[in-house]
Structure 1
Amino acid sequence: MNIFKRLFKIGQSETNSAIDKMEDPINMTEQGIRDLRDNLKEGLESLAQVKALAIRAKNDLEELTSKAEDYQQKAILILQKAKTGNLDSNEADRLAKEALIKKEETNKQASNSQLEAEKLNTSVTQLEHNVDEIKNNINKWENELKTLKARVKVSKATKNLNKQMAEIDNSSTVAMLERMKDKVNQEEALAEAYGDMAKSSKSIDDELNNAIDFTENNADNDLAKLKEQLGLNNKDI
């Protein structure tokens, strides 16, 4: 897995160099993740192929082991037939010997298949380790990318805010506030003027109604007083 460590170090070196050159490290990190995903794809394909070979070697081993046992059983059956007189003893010895030779050859093939299967299983284990390491690196880089994007966003916002604060002119700000105050005073005076105009446009009846609280009780009292002044009362009516 040293090659992936070297790739990771190269990626780190390039990222640091980009930062020093004021380049965008986010793009380089994203490219590094894409490269790792390509490596992961190749690694998974290789793993699948080697696993297939390992499975085939295992099946071959089981088949050869079964075949060797079959030759052993055939030799035994031949010798048993010779013992019972169903087969010539010399012919039985020849056939049994041939069966045992086949058995030995098959056992050698089985041994070779077993060694091949062990090598393939070792390769499978190594490839699985490599694939897991690539996956871990991808997850690590993706998390670092999220953090980096967040930091860039915060730093840009902070920079813009600080820039705006630095560009603020105190004297111009005070002048702007004074203009705003003048504008508000002008609007308030204009509102008051419209209010006076609205009052002057009211009818005399409106003014009388506003000046006098004209309720039913007051009208009765005023009527009684007026009758008294005129010398009128209920007895005279």
Structure 2
Amino acid sequence: MAGILKRFTDIMSANINALLDKAEDPEKMIDQYLREAQSDLGKVKAETAAVMAEEKRAARELDECKAEAAKMQSYAEKALIAGNENDARTFLAKKASLTEKQNTLEQSYRMAADNAAKMRNMHDKLVTDINDLNARRDAIKAKMKVARTQQKLNELGASANKASDTLSAFGRMEAKANRMLDEANAMAELNESSAENDIDDLMSKYDSPSSSDPAVDDEMAALKTKLGL
């Protein structure tokens, strides 16, 4: 019984919170505690029943002894009334023996009654503690369910953040691609503008009116003739 009480005292103490904190699965641990407590309750109940039965037996023996002593007293009185003093002495001697036995039985009964009261208190406390532990188990399981749901939400949130980061990276790459395309288009536009300017300059070379001197032109023509050009 002492081992049962010590184990259950440990279970019901504040230390159970520390034990549950270290447990990988608090639900399984508290279920194990409850199974052990129910098993202990069965043992306590059987022991309590045995002690209560002993109390009743002691009470019955005490009552029987008292009744027998009272009977011897009655017979002693009857013997004296009948004038049989020796018979009265015999009955009184038996009563004295019964009285001595009664004292012993009273001590035994008090011990049995005390033990029975302690066992009943132990049994009742164990039942109360088990009910309390059952309630705490339900609360722990409810908290565990919420915790698991929160963990899933955290995992989904992490995945969503990762997807958001991926989209953000794609956005940066897209912006870079757009910037590169814009730069390439600008460069092409600049190149095209430069080519058009070259053509315009060349055309203006031949479109502009001649600014040469006629005398120089005539001399140039004579020189070409002379040279056979």
TM-score by length of 2: 0.65
1:140 aligns with 2:132: yes
The structural deviation recorded for 1:147 is 0.7
Corresponding residue for residue 62 of structure 1: 63
Task: Please give the secondary structure, in 2, of the residue aligned with 1:23.
Answer: coil
Deviation digits for residues 114-150 of structure 1 (CA, Å, limit 9, x no counterpart): 1111111100110011111111221121111111111
Q: Match for 1:148: what amino acid?
A: I
Corresponding residue for residue 31 of structure 1: 32
Residues in 2 aligned to 1:8 and 1:45: alpha-carbon distance in whole angstroms: 17
Cα 1:173/1:6, change in 2 over 3 Å: farther
Segments of 5+ residues of structure 1 without an aligned counterpart are 83-91, 175-237
The structural deviation recorded for 1:6 is 3.4
Alignment of 1:92-111 (within 5 A): 92-111=84-103
Q: Which of 128, 131, 134 is matched with 2:123 structurally?
A: 131
The structural deviation recorded for 1:9 is 5.5
Larger deviation, residues 163-172 vs 105-114:
163-172
**Moved beyond 4 Å, runs of 4+:** 1-5, 12-15, 171-174
Residues in 1 aligned to 2:111 and 2:136: alpha-carbon distance in whole angstroms: 37
Larger deviation, residues 32-41 vs 163-172:
163-172
Cα 1:171/1:47, change in 2 over 3 Å: closer
Structural RMSD (CA): 2.3
Alignment of 1:10-29 (within 5 A): 10-11=10-11, 13=15, 16-17=18-19, 19-20=21-22, 23-29=24-30
Residues in 1 aligned to 2:72 and 2:5: alpha-carbon distance in whole angstroms: 52
Q: Match for 1:41: what amino acid?
A: G
Percent of aligned positions with the same letter in both sequences? 21
- Kept after mapping to 2: 8 A contact 1:15/1:28: no
Q: Which has the larger radius of gyration?
A: 2
Corresponding residue for residue 44 of structure 1: 45
TM-score by length of 1: 0.63
